[in-house]
Amino acid sequence: MPNTDEVDRIVSAWLRERPDLDFSPLQVFSRLDRLSKHLDRARRSAFTGSDLEPPDFDVLAALRRAGSPYQLSPKALLQQTLVSSGTMTNRIDRLVTRGLVERRTDPNDGRGILVQMTELGRSRVDAAITDLVSEETRLLATLTRADQERLAGLLRKLSLDFD
């Protein structure tokens, strides 16, 4: 069969061994899993050039997307990154130590804290997102723009049930 991949071979073997089951979900999720591994490698490669780990990038990217002055409360960062408060505290501590963010007192609430990205943090996240977009563009190169939009729409539809 032309244009077959490893998932086709796996599903074919399962169908031979268990013809009583519908393996169509494997056609989707096994490919998503394999693509996820390629994406993870591409992301790590993109972040390495900026001396960032994926968790560093997540926090800095949330701050960058917030716009100037590139600051958010720890609670807002939690909502955007979907991690526990303890994990977020550790991430912020690590970024503070590396000079990529600073903790500031919230001027609107003297008891509150804001996390603000430094210039070094901004230059690192800007370099990382540039490399990431380039890597992801390369990963999608075999698809036309229309195929990419159709795939994005289908994945959006599927992910809405999980969000």
Q: What angle do CA 80, 83, 85 make, to 5 degrees?
A: 105
Topology annotation, domain 6-160: Arc Repressor Mutant, subunit A (1.10.10)
Q: Is the pLDDT of residue 148 over 70?
A: yes
Cβ neighbours of residue 74 closer than 8 Å, sequence gap 6 or more: 85, 88, 89, 92, 113, 115
What digits encode the pLDDT tens for the residues 104-128?
A: 988 888 788 999 999 999 999 999 9
- In the chain, where the domains are located: 6-160
Q: How confident is residue 68, by pLDDT bands cut at 50, 70 and 90?
A: very high
Whole-Å CA distances, 65 to 12, 73, 90, 92, 108: 44, 14, 21, 17, 21
Q: Is the pLDDT of residue 8 over 80?
A: yes
Alpha-carbon dihedral angle through residues 54, 55, 58, 59, given to the nearest 10 degrees: -140
